[in-house]
Amino acid sequence: MITILHLITGLEVGGAERMLAHIASCSDRHRFRSVVVSMTGPGRMGPLIEAEGITVRSLGLRRGAPDPRGILRLLRTLREFRPDILQTWLYHADLLGLIARQLSPTKRLVWNLRCTEMEGTAGLTRLLARGSGVPEAVIVNSYAGQRYHEALGYQSRRWVMIPNGFDTECFRPDTGARRRGRAELGISDDAVALLLPARYDAMKDHANFLAAAAKLAGRHPEAQFALAGTGAEPGNRELSEAIAAHGLADRIRLLGERRDIEALYPAFDIVTLSSAFGEGFPNVLGEAMACGVPCVATDIGDAAAIIGDCGIVVPARDPEALAAGWQRLMGLGAHGRAALGARARARIVEHYDLALVVARFEVLYDEIAGGDQPNS
């Protein structure tokens, strides 16, 4: 039995947190034991992970408040579970794991990088770059992420690229969900509905989306838009004012954070990503494609590699190009978009199905815990 202790900054809802939950719950329980430790609190994901029979612990640290007691609590947890592998997720956990590696009997440390450039992390990433030769391996979920961190000075002994995976039984085409979703949102059958599923954050570049939406709306009265994600809600005054300034108040629905995102995607004809920076492996593209919805995305992170020839990739920070990408898919008509969506789903099933990705983590754990360190 190989024990993996997953250390993560927090367990709120996010791409890294969801992927950790999948790996911990879907790995072969006869061969792998997972323990999940949050540096902060259990968040929204902690109880969900526990419900799968996975042990979850919290160090009780406050974000932005360095506390040496966190090291002591982690060391106690490591002594309790004596993991074969300490796998850290996100920068602050990488740093704490690096410190713990020097102070505990844990022999095998694996970092897990889930992004490219992030605002406000320059000092931390410089520090981590100096220690990047310590972990037995550094996992990345995108080639863009590996290139970015190598440029920062990361010198891993072993880079391992494992993309995000998707539950293609959960994320799948659903005509019933399409009808229900459009009825709930008041979207007519003859409308072409576009969804941006993204939290309200500078990296997601809602300004780019709104400028492109204004261009498309003037040309296509049948186009309707929706924003879903934390902060993309009517109470966001800044966003509401920007929507009004673009003359889109009656064309954009603000849906806020949705816990039924797998039922929301099928209600739309096009899913889009308008990000300007920071993306590694954008989960929303794989999720939407698995639901049979074609995507238009900016060329950030590994978006182009995910989409392949099953959607459209455009330059970042270029509203005209984004609007033109949407217009190209609209020009295919409903049948053409459905055919493209079917190809998109087949691509996700073939390359990014969750079972395939979990198996790659299991192989890595076997290699590292067994001391087998091939070059890659």
Residue with tokens 């950790």: 20
Length of the chain in residues, anyone? 376
Residue 181: CA count within 13 A, CB half-sphere: 23
pLDDT at residue 275 greater than cutoff 50: yes
102 burial (CB, 10 Å; 0-12 / 13-18 / 19+) is: exposed
What are the start and end residues of each CATH 3.40.50.2000 domain in the chain? 2-165+354-369, 175-352
pLDDT per position as a tens digit, 284-327: 999 999 999 999 999 999 999 999 999 999 999 999 999 999 99
pLDDT per position as a tens digit, 77-99: 999 999 999 999 999 999 999 99
Instruction: Provide the total of helices (H) and of strands (E) in the chain, helices listed first.
Output: 15, 13
Mean pLDDT over residues 226-231, rounded? 96
Encoding tokens for residue 174? 């659903």
The C-alpha R_g of the chain, in whole angstroms, comes to 21
Whether the CB-CB separation of 70 and 62 falls below 8 Å is answered with no
Whether the CB-CB separation of 198 and 55 falls below 8 Å is answered with no
Residue 279 vs residue 117, higher pLDDT: 279
CA distance 318 to 112: 31
Strand pairing report for 159-161 and 137-140:
parallel
Whether the CB-CB separation of 249 and 305 falls below 8 Å is answered with no
Task: Look at residue 21 in the predicted model and tell me its pLDDT.
Answer: 95
**Banded model confidence at residue 107, pLDDT cuts 50, 70, 90:** confident
CA distance 222 to 127: 51
Residue with tokens 């020839």: 309
Mean pLDDT of the chain: 93
Residue 21, C-beta contacts closer than 8 angstroms, at least 6 positions apart = 36, 45, 48, 49, 52
Q: Fill in the DSSP letter of residue 166.
A: B
Whether the CB-CB separation of 279 and 116 falls below 8 Å is answered with yes
CA distance 218 to 166: 36
Task: Look at residue 117 in the predicted model and tell me its pLDDT.
Answer: 72
Task: Look at residue 78 in the predicted model and tell me its pLDDT.
Answer: 94
Residue 87, C-beta contacts closer than 8 angstroms, at least 6 positions apart = 4, 5, 6, 7, 110, 111, 112, 139
pLDDT per position as a tens digit, 124-177: 899 999 999 999 999 999 999 999 999 999 999 999 999 999 999 999 999 999
Ranges of H-type helices in the chain: 15-26, 45-51, 69-81, 91-103, 122-130, 143-152, 175-185, 206-219, 237-245, 261-264, 283-290, 303-307, 319-331, 333-352, 354-369
Nearest to 251 by CA among 215, 201, 297, 285: 215
* H helix or E strand, kind and range, residue 113: strand 109-113
Whether the CB-CB separation of 40 and 61 falls below 8 Å is answered with yes
Nearest to 110 by CA among 250, 4, 218: 4
Encoding tokens for residue 23? 């790996």
Task: Look at residue 374 in the predicted model and tell me its pLDDT.
Answer: 43
**Banded model confidence at residue 120, pLDDT cuts 50, 70, 90:** low
CA distance 208 to 193: 18
Nearest to 291 by CA among 164, 163, 170, 165: 170
CATH of domain 175-352: 3.40.50.2000
Share of the chain above pLDDT 70, in %: 97
Residue 374 vs residue 77, higher pLDDT: 77
As its CATH architecture, domain 2-165+354-369 has: 3-Layer(aba) Sandwich (3.40)
The one-letter code for the residue type at 252 is I
pLDDT per position as a tens digit, 10-63: 998 888 899 999 999 999 999 999 999 999 999 999 999 999 999 999 999 987
pLDDT at residue 116 greater than cutoff 90: no
Does this model's pTM top 0.75? My answer is: yes
CA distance 316 to 303: 11
- Per-state percent for the chain, helix, strand, coil, to nearest 5: 45, 15, 40
